[in-house]
Homo-oligomer: A and B are copies of this chain.
């Protein structure tokens, strides 16, 4: 929980997650999308992995990273339920679908 919010506090790390939400990428492919050094990106990936937000798999010479969607969704939604009324997140997040389902 603490690690997840710390990981999300960095814009660079949130961008990495955004990239990984579209496709699995190697460390090098991720680094190429930023202007900071490769070791710096590697450190960010390490933070994200320690928070359980991404996982890595080494295939040959490359390390492939992918998003762990469940952990992100569960942590944020869990926190939201804790602090906000249960009904609100549902409405905010997919108001259209909820409305449709509630009406039907």
Residues in A lying within 8 Å of B, measured CB to CB: 2, 5-6, 8-9, 11, 14, 17-18, 21, 67, 69-70, 72-74, 76-90, 92-94, 97-98, 101-102
- Identify A73's interface contact among B2, B73, B88, CB under 8 A: B88
Q: Which residues in B have their C-beta under 8 angstroms from that of A67?
A: 83
Q: Which residues in B have their C-beta under 8 angstroms from that of A85?
A: 69
**Interface pair B84/A73, CB less than 8 Å apart:** yes
Q: How far is B5's CA from A11's CA once the two chains are assembled, in angstroms?
A: 9
**Interface pair B73/A89, CB less than 8 Å apart:** yes
**Interface pair B92/A70, CB less than 8 Å apart:** yes
**Interface pair A11/B21, CB less than 8 Å apart:** no
Query: For residue A13, which residue of chain B has the nearest CB?
Result: B5
- Identify A80's interface contact among B6, B88, B93, CB under 8 A: B93
